[in-house]
């Protein structure tokens, strides 16, 4: 069991910075602790979303159902032992509050795929395609985006990602959609640079890919929810659709045909999320905690 194992892992330090979405906040930390939270453990607190199409009858679902009550108690105790929480987005801040009763500040993670690096072209498209960058998991709604483009034969969609859904998604793939896995950073930069827009149909904890696309001056067509509410500014850096359904995604693609975007404005928006801003904020948070400030403990 990972919970008892995590509890026995001792950390001796004046201040420990914990980067976690599941177990690390449960370590035996003897000094003060600052948690950078990507999301409360999804398999415990958002199990339906985590399981996706596997449903309630799978072996994984049955195991979670049996273990979840004890694990939730362990998880809550571990969270409340920490001195301060930071959350990667507004939606994660709200989940931390609802799950643990802890008030967390929002500190956005930095963008890492930047246009200054080398580029290497990928096929089958040269340019003029829509791009979707995602792990191929049930809750990412990649299948809904594929179905949207199935109904838009004049448009093209390039999906970059890998995951357990890949084989299923490739079955019956329409001629105007391609899936690539094992793409390098150089190839990903090329794809961002040559796409028309990014399509982002999943409910994300943060929503990093719109910022990566934005670094290349490209807009995003995003689901109205989750982390995209922080990283996409409507009518400035992209458009929202209200449901992760093929029809809603298709309508956003059609609406984007008439949109006029200012690439420089999109790039400027993304600078709020750069690495230097993050570095300064996390350094300040650690120094503040070391000096005795624990203002974000549970209430």
Question: What residues contact residue 173 under an 8 Å CB cut-off, 6+ apart?
Answer: 146, 179
What does the alpha-carbon distance between residue 158 and residue 187 come to, in Å, rounded to a whole number?
12
Per-residue model confidence as pLDDT tens digits over 240-262: 999 999 999 999 999 999 999 99
Domains and CATH numbers, the chain: 2-110+276-290 (no CATH), 129-271 (3.40.50.2000)
Q: How far is CA 134 from CA 29, 179, 210, in A?
A: 34, 11, 12
Mean pLDDT across 15-33: 88
Answer whether 246's CB lies under 8 Å from 254's CB: no
Higher per-residue confidence, 70 vs 293: 70
What does the alpha-carbon distance between residue 233 and residue 241 come to, in Å, rounded to a whole number?
13
Cα atoms in the 13 Å half-sphere on the side-chain side of 9: 12
What is the pLDDT, as a whole number, of residue 82?
92
Question: What residues contact residue 12 under an 8 Å CB cut-off, 6+ apart?
Answer: 30, 31
pLDDT of 296 over the 60 cut: no
SS3 11: strand
pLDDT of 42 over the 80 cut: no
What is the pLDDT, as a whole number, of residue 298?
45
What does the alpha-carbon distance between residue 181 and residue 162 come to, in Å, rounded to a whole number?
5
Q: E strands of the chain, at which residues?
A: 10-11, 15-20, 28-29, 32-37, 84-87, 105-106, 129-133, 157-160, 177-180, 195-200, 220-223, 238-241
pLDDT of 32 over the 80 cut: yes
Q: Which residues of 213-233 are buried (b: 16+ CB within 10 A; e: fewer)?
A: bbbbbbbbbbbbbbbbbbbbe
pLDDT of 285 over the 80 cut: yes
Answer whether 195's CB lies under 8 Å from 212's CB: no
Q: Tell me what percent of the residues of the chain surpass a pLDDT of 70.
A: 89
Task: Indicate the helix (H) or strand (E) that contains 277.
Answer: helix 275-290
- What is the token pair recorded at 88? 């990667």
What is the pLDDT, as a whole number, of residue 48?
64
Please give the model's pTM, rounded to 2 decimal places. Answer: 0.85
What is the pLDDT, as a whole number, of residue 47?
60
Q: How far is CA 189 from CA 2, 4, 158, 178, 273, in A?
A: 37, 42, 13, 17, 18
Task: Indicate the helix (H) or strand (E) that contains 209.
Answer: helix 209-214
What is the pLDDT, as a whole number, of residue 160?
98
pLDDT of 299 over the 50 cut: no
- Considering the chain, what is the average pLDDT of its residues? 90
Among 51-55, 115-119, 142-146, 156-160, where is mean pLDDT lowest? 51-55
pLDDT of 149 over the 50 cut: yes
Mean pLDDT across 19-48: 84
């Amino acid at each position: 069991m990972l919970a008892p194992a995590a509890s026995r892992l001792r950390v001796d330090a004046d201040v420990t910075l914990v980067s976690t979405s599941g177990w690390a906040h449960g370590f035996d930390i003897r000094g003060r602790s600052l948690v950078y939270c990507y999301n409360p453990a999804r398999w415990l607190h958002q199990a339906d979303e985590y399981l996706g199409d596997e449903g309630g009858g799978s072996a994984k679902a049955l195991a979670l159902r049996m273990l979840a009550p004890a694990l939730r108690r362990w998880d809550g105790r571990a969270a409340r032992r920490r001195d301060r929480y930071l959350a990667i987005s507004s939606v994660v801040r709200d989940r931390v509050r609802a799950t643990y009763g802890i008030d967390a500040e929002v500190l956005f993670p930095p963008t890492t795929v930047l246009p200054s690096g080398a580029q290497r072209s990928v096929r089958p498209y040269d340019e003029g395609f829509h791009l979707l960058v995602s792990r191929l998991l049930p809750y990412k709604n990649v299948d809904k985006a594929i179905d949207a483009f199935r109904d838009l034969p004049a448009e093209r969609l390039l999906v970059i990602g890998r995951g357990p859904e890949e084989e299923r998604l490739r079955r019956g793939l329409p001629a105007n959609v391609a899936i690539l896995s094992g793409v390098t950073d150089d190839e990903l930069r090329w794809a961002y640079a040559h796409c028309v827009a990014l399509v982002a149909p999943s409910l994300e904890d943060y929503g990093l890919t719109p910022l990566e696309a934005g670094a290349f001056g490209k807009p995003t067509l995003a689901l109205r929810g989750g982390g995209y509410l922080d990283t996409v500014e409507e009518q400035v850096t992209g458009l929202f659709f209200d449901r992760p359904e093929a029809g809603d995604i298709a309508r956003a693609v059609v609406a984007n045909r008439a949109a006029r975007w200012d690439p420089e404005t999109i790039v400027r928006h993304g600078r709020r999320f750069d690495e230097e801003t993050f570095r300064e904020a996390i350094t300040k948070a650690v120094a503040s905690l070391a000096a005795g400030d624990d203002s974000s403990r549970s209430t």
